[in-house]
Amino acid sequence: MKKLLSMLIAATFATVSAAAFAAAHGGAPKDADKKMDEKMAACKKLDPKADDKMKAECKKLMEEKKEEKKAEAPKK
């Protein structure tokens, strides 16, 4: 009985610790979204004479944005 109680306490502590860790890191993507939006705006204003590296980055961003929209779409 004592071992069972110890295991339950340890499991509870582990769960609470994991939840606290996840909650502490929950807000990080907001800054990344702002930067991505700024890059998307720059890509829309892209000069046709831009270098290949910039064009490749813009193409990659566009593809990522499309994938995110598909993932966020409600599933029936």
What would the pLDDT profile of 26-48 be if each residue is shown by its tens digit? Answer: 665 566 667 777 777 777 777 76
54 close to 46: Cβ distance less than 8 angstroms: yes
Number of structural domains, the chain?
1
pTM exceeds 0.75 for this model: no
Could you list the residue range(s) of the whole structural domain that residue 44 is in? 2-72
Can you point out the beta strands (E) in 1-76?
none
What would the pLDDT profile of 60-71 be if each residue is shown by its tens digit? Answer: 877 877 777 666
